Each structure stands twice: as C-alpha cells, then as structure tokens.
Amino acid sequence: MTQEQSENKDFSHLDTQHNPSMVDVSGKTITKRTATARSIIALTPEIVAQFVNGDIQTKKGAVFQTAIIAGTMGAKKTSDLIPLCHPLGLDSCKFNIEIQGNDVIIDCTCTLTAKTGVEMEALTGATIAALTVYDMCKAFSHDLVIKETKLLSKTGGKSDYKA
C-alpha cells in the first residue's frame, strides 16, 4: 500500500466528529460471506505426549472438543465482546485443530449470508479456542504461548482477502 492510498483510508468505526460509531451497513448488499482465522498455541513436549486418539485428555475432559465448543460460543458472542461489531446470526462455525510439532494449529471458519462480514467472529472463535486449550493444559505447565492469531481469508464483501 502506498502512502497516498494509506492517507485516503479512514477508520471505519469513527464518525465525522471522530466519535466511535457502528458502521452503517444498511446500503450494503446481502451476500454469502466467509472468513477463516488461525490461532497457534505452543505446548510443551510433556503436554504433546498426552495426545492420544486425536485429542488430549485431561481431568477437565477432551481438550480439542472443549475448545471447539468454547470457540463456537465465542464466535456467536463476538458482538457482546467487541463493542462496535454487528450482532450476527452465523450460518456456520467450523473448526479444524491439528498438532504440528509442539504447536496446536486452530482454524476457525465462519459463514453467513448478510450485509457485513464475519472476520471478527472467525478471529474471536480461533482466539477463544486457543485460550481454552491454554486453560485446560495449564495444570501440566504454564510454559504455553499463544503465538499468533491472524485472518487467513475472507470472501463475499467489497473485497476478498487471502493471507
């Protein structure tokens, strides 16, 4: 992005007086919109060694299954957590969780047909799932690190995005 392009952009959640404002989507077209976000959490080798039959079992239950439920709940509650997000009725919220080395890769894909996108819902879902993995594994070690959360892709709005 050039400096000129950067200077022509405005923050979408500020009104003309620079006060916080929800984006007015009333003039937008209803389209199918999707977004995929990823969170990566680094576990210790001791925790990874607990991985059996596609999940990590703890006294609190199956880690990945619980993370999927928590992430779905978080995605559905995004507008309660992020002040200027529109409340959205998701059509779908799906997770893919896998271990690569000591890293747990959590992908959350949200879909809906609406006037606004679902990036924040996908990001929230992935983040809450990562926090749930942390919570459920901290009894083994506090040397856990949520390394990154990022948007991987979005479709259906004014412009598509792919990382």
List 55, 91, 103, 135, catalytic entry = 135
Q: pLDDT band at residue 105, thresholds of 50, 70 and 90?
A: very high
- Separation CA 144–CA 141 (nearest Å): 7
Average confidence score pLDDT of the chain: 89
10 labelled catalytic: no
d(Cα 73, Cα 79) in Å, to the nearest integer? 12
Q: What is the pLDDT of residues 65-92, one digit of tens each?
A: 999 999 999 999 999 999 888 999 999 9
With 0.95 as the threshold, say if the pTM is over it: no
Distance between alpha carbon 61 and the CA centroid of its chain, in Å? 23
Average pLDDT over residues 5-20: 62
pLDDT exceeding 90 applies to what percent of the chain?
A: 67
Question: 2 falls in which pLDDT band (50, 70, 90)?
Answer: very low
* E strand residue ranges, 3-160: 31-42, 51-52, 55-58, 61-62, 92-100, 103-114, 145-155
Beta strands 31-42 and 145-155, pairing class: antiparallel
Q: Which residues of 34-49 are buried (b: 16+ CB within 10 A; e: fewer)?
A: bbbbbbbbebeeebbe
Flag whether pLDDT at 4 surpasses 80: no
pLDDT at 1: 44
